[in-house]
Structure 1
Amino acid sequence: MQVEIGTDDILVDARLLADLLRLEPTAVHSLLRTKQITSFCERGIGEHVGQYRLTFFYGNRRARLNIDSAGRVTRRSSIDFGQAALPRQLHRAGE
Protein backbone atom coordinates (compact mmCIF):
# COMPACT_ATOMS: atom_id res chain seq x y z
CA MET A 1 0.00 0.00 0.00
CA GLN A 2 1.41 3.36 -0.99
CA VAL A 3 -1.82 5.36 -0.82
CA GLU A 4 -5.17 4.21 0.56
CA ILE A 5 -8.34 6.28 0.13
CA GLY A 6 -10.79 5.89 2.99
CA THR A 7 -14.22 7.38 3.57
CA ASP A 8 -12.90 10.28 5.63
CA ASP A 9 -9.16 10.22 5.06
CA ILE A 10 -6.29 9.33 2.78
CA LEU A 11 -3.39 7.30 4.14
CA VAL A 12 0.06 7.69 2.58
CA ASP A 13 2.82 5.18 3.22
CA ALA A 14 5.53 6.83 5.34
CA ARG A 15 8.24 5.34 3.09
CA LEU A 16 6.80 7.07 0.03
CA LEU A 17 6.54 10.42 1.80
CA ALA A 18 10.01 10.03 3.31
CA ASP A 19 11.48 9.33 -0.11
CA LEU A 20 9.90 12.47 -1.60
CA LEU A 21 10.93 14.71 1.30
CA ARG A 22 14.37 13.08 1.69
CA LEU A 23 13.75 11.90 5.26
CA GLU A 24 14.08 8.68 7.19
CA PRO A 25 10.76 6.81 7.13
CA THR A 26 10.87 6.46 10.92
CA ALA A 27 10.86 10.27 11.30
CA VAL A 28 7.69 10.91 9.28
CA HIS A 29 5.09 10.17 11.99
CA SER A 30 6.70 12.35 14.65
CA LEU A 31 7.22 15.22 12.16
CA LEU A 32 3.53 15.02 11.21
CA ARG A 33 2.46 14.98 14.87
CA THR A 34 4.56 18.05 15.67
CA LYS A 35 3.29 19.79 12.51
CA GLN A 36 6.78 20.09 11.04
CA ILE A 37 5.36 18.30 8.01
CA THR A 38 2.17 20.01 6.87
CA SER A 39 -0.12 19.15 4.01
CA PHE A 40 -3.26 19.84 2.05
CA CYS A 41 -5.44 17.82 -0.28
CA GLU A 42 -7.17 18.91 -3.47
CA ARG A 43 -10.04 16.86 -4.90
CA GLY A 44 -10.50 16.77 -8.66
CA ILE A 45 -13.62 18.17 -10.32
CA GLY A 46 -15.05 17.84 -13.82
CA GLU A 47 -12.95 15.45 -15.86
CA HIS A 48 -10.72 14.88 -12.81
CA VAL A 49 -13.46 13.60 -10.47
CA GLY A 50 -12.09 10.79 -8.32
CA GLN A 51 -8.53 12.08 -8.52
CA TYR A 52 -6.62 13.82 -5.75
CA ARG A 53 -3.52 15.97 -5.45
CA LEU A 54 -1.75 15.71 -2.09
CA THR A 55 0.84 18.33 -1.23
CA PHE A 56 3.29 18.05 1.68
CA PHE A 57 5.71 20.63 3.07
CA TYR A 58 8.78 20.14 5.21
CA GLY A 59 11.28 22.94 5.73
CA ASN A 60 12.23 24.22 2.29
CA ARG A 61 10.83 21.17 0.50
CA ARG A 62 7.52 20.50 -1.19
CA ALA A 63 6.33 17.07 -2.33
CA ARG A 64 3.28 16.31 -4.46
CA LEU A 65 1.37 13.14 -5.22
CA ASN A 66 -1.38 12.87 -7.80
CA ILE A 67 -3.49 9.79 -7.23
CA ASP A 68 -6.41 8.17 -9.01
CA SER A 69 -9.63 6.87 -7.44
CA ALA A 70 -7.98 3.51 -6.65
CA GLY A 71 -5.11 5.19 -4.77
CA ARG A 72 -2.53 4.56 -7.50
CA VAL A 73 0.13 7.25 -7.77
CA THR A 74 -0.12 8.76 -11.26
CA ARG A 75 2.45 11.50 -10.74
CA ARG A 76 4.94 12.41 -8.07
CA SER A 77 7.24 15.39 -7.72
CA SER A 78 9.36 17.18 -5.18
CA ILE A 79 11.13 20.50 -4.97
CA ASP A 80 13.99 21.27 -2.59
CA PHE A 81 15.09 24.88 -2.35
CA GLY A 82 18.15 24.05 -0.24
CA GLN A 83 19.12 27.05 1.87
CA ALA A 84 16.60 29.38 0.17
CA ALA A 85 13.14 29.76 1.64
CA LEU A 86 10.28 27.97 -0.10
CA PRO A 87 8.50 30.65 -2.18
CA ARG A 88 5.19 31.65 -0.60
CA GLN A 89 3.23 31.01 -3.82
CA LEU A 90 4.13 27.30 -3.62
CA HIS A 91 2.00 27.03 -0.46
CA ARG A 92 -1.17 27.66 -2.44
CA ALA A 93 -3.49 25.13 -4.03
CA GLY A 94 -3.13 24.73 -7.77
CA GLU A 95 0.40 26.13 -7.92
Structure 2
Amino acid sequence: MIEIEQDGGFTVPAEVIGEGLKIDAADVQALLKAGAIATSSEAGVGDDFGTFRLTFSTRHRRLRLVVDALGDVVSRSVLDFGSEPLPPGTRRPGAV
Protein backbone atom coordinates (compact mmCIF):
# COMPACT_ATOMS: atom_id res chain seq x y z
CA MET A 1 0.00 0.00 0.00
CA ILE A 2 1.19 3.50 -0.86
CA GLU A 3 0.87 6.22 1.77
CA ILE A 4 -0.64 9.47 0.50
CA GLU A 5 0.78 12.40 2.46
CA GLN A 6 -1.21 15.45 3.63
CA ASP A 7 0.95 17.70 1.42
CA GLY A 8 0.11 15.67 -1.70
CA GLY A 9 3.31 13.62 -1.68
CA PHE A 10 3.56 9.84 -1.58
CA THR A 11 5.50 7.31 0.45
CA VAL A 12 6.23 4.19 -1.55
CA PRO A 13 7.98 1.27 0.16
CA ALA A 14 11.55 0.79 -1.07
CA GLU A 15 10.74 -2.89 -1.63
CA VAL A 16 8.06 -1.95 -4.18
CA ILE A 17 10.39 0.39 -6.08
CA GLY A 18 13.32 -2.02 -5.84
CA GLU A 19 11.30 -4.95 -7.12
CA GLY A 20 9.96 -2.97 -10.06
CA LEU A 21 13.33 -1.54 -11.05
CA LYS A 22 15.31 -4.71 -10.26
CA ILE A 23 17.51 -3.05 -7.67
CA ASP A 24 18.16 -3.84 -4.02
CA ALA A 25 15.59 -2.15 -1.77
CA ALA A 26 18.44 -1.07 0.53
CA ASP A 27 19.86 1.03 -2.34
CA VAL A 28 16.63 2.81 -3.31
CA GLN A 29 16.86 5.83 -1.01
CA ALA A 30 20.47 6.61 -1.92
CA LEU A 31 19.71 6.27 -5.64
CA LEU A 32 16.71 8.60 -5.28
CA LYS A 33 18.86 11.20 -3.49
CA ALA A 34 21.58 10.89 -6.13
CA GLY A 35 19.07 11.37 -8.95
CA ALA A 36 19.76 7.91 -10.39
CA ILE A 37 16.05 7.15 -10.00
CA ALA A 38 13.80 9.78 -11.58
CA THR A 39 10.30 10.18 -10.17
CA SER A 40 7.07 11.84 -11.16
CA SER A 41 3.47 11.82 -9.99
CA GLU A 42 0.28 12.82 -11.73
CA ALA A 43 -3.28 13.16 -10.45
CA GLY A 44 -6.01 11.60 -12.55
CA VAL A 45 -8.58 13.85 -14.23
CA GLY A 46 -11.97 13.15 -15.77
CA ASP A 47 -12.72 9.42 -15.65
CA ASP A 48 -9.45 8.89 -13.77
CA PHE A 49 -10.22 11.40 -11.01
CA GLY A 50 -9.25 9.97 -7.61
CA THR A 51 -6.29 8.02 -8.95
CA PHE A 52 -2.62 8.88 -9.11
CA ARG A 53 0.10 7.69 -11.49
CA LEU A 54 3.53 7.30 -9.90
CA THR A 55 6.51 6.75 -12.17
CA PHE A 56 10.02 5.67 -11.18
CA SER A 57 12.72 5.23 -13.79
CA THR A 58 16.36 4.42 -14.11
CA ARG A 59 18.45 4.58 -17.25
CA HIS A 60 17.16 1.19 -18.46
CA ARG A 61 13.87 0.49 -16.67
CA ARG A 62 10.61 2.24 -15.77
CA LEU A 63 8.08 1.29 -13.08
CA ARG A 64 4.63 2.86 -13.23
CA LEU A 65 2.05 2.45 -10.46
CA VAL A 66 -1.54 3.65 -10.55
CA VAL A 67 -2.98 4.02 -7.06
CA ASP A 68 -6.46 4.91 -5.84
CA ALA A 69 -7.33 7.56 -3.25
CA LEU A 70 -6.72 5.03 -0.44
CA GLY A 71 -3.22 4.21 -1.68
CA ASP A 72 -4.06 0.77 -3.06
CA VAL A 73 -2.21 -0.16 -6.24
CA VAL A 74 -4.77 -0.69 -9.01
CA SER A 75 -2.26 -1.30 -11.80
CA ARG A 76 1.46 -1.81 -12.19
CA SER A 77 3.57 -1.84 -15.33
CA VAL A 78 7.26 -2.19 -16.04
CA LEU A 79 9.13 -1.18 -19.16
CA ASP A 80 12.53 -2.89 -19.37
CA PHE A 81 15.06 -2.22 -22.10
CA GLY A 82 17.69 -4.55 -20.67
CA SER A 83 21.15 -3.16 -21.40
CA GLU A 84 19.79 -0.47 -23.76
CA PRO A 85 18.76 2.95 -22.41
CA LEU A 86 15.08 3.84 -22.27
CA PRO A 87 13.93 5.80 -25.34
CA PRO A 88 13.91 9.57 -24.69
CA GLY A 89 10.14 10.01 -24.15
CA THR A 90 9.72 7.18 -21.65
CA ARG A 91 11.17 9.07 -18.69
CA ARG A 92 8.77 12.00 -19.07
CA PRO A 93 5.53 12.10 -17.08
CA GLY A 94 2.64 10.93 -19.22
CA ALA A 95 4.82 9.25 -21.83
CA VAL A 96 3.52 5.90 -22.97
What SS class does the counterpart of residue 18 from structure 2 fall into?
Answer: helix
1:56 corresponds in structure 2 to: 56
Q: Does 1:77 align with 2:62?
A: no
Number of residue equivalences: 94
Q: TM-score, normalised by structure 2?
A: 0.92
RMSD: 1.0
Query: How far apart, CA to CA, are the structure 2 residues paired with 1:44 and 1:34?
Result: 28
Alpha-carbon shift at residue 92 of structure 1 (Å):
2.6
Which consecutive aligned stretches of 4+ in structure 1 deviate over 3 angstroms post-superposition? none
Structure 2, gaps ≥5 residues long: none
Structure 1, gaps ≥5 residues long: none
Alpha-carbon shift at residue 79 of structure 1 (Å):
1.3
What SS class does the counterpart of residue 66 from structure 2 fall into?
Answer: strand
Q: TM-score, normalised by structure 1?
A: 0.93
Query: How far apart, CA to CA, are the structure 2 residues paired with 1:37 and 1:93?
Result: 14
What SS class does the counterpart of residue 77 from structure 2 fall into?
Answer: strand
1:36 corresponds in structure 2 to: 36
Q: Does 1:6 align with 2:29?
A: no
Query: How far apart, CA to CA, are the structure 1 residues paired with 2:32 and 2:4?
Result: 18
Identity among equivalent positions (%) equals 36
1:17 corresponds in structure 2 to: 17
Q: Deviations over 1:19-55 (max 9, x none)?
A: 0000111000100011101111110011211100001
1:88 corresponds in structure 2 to: 88
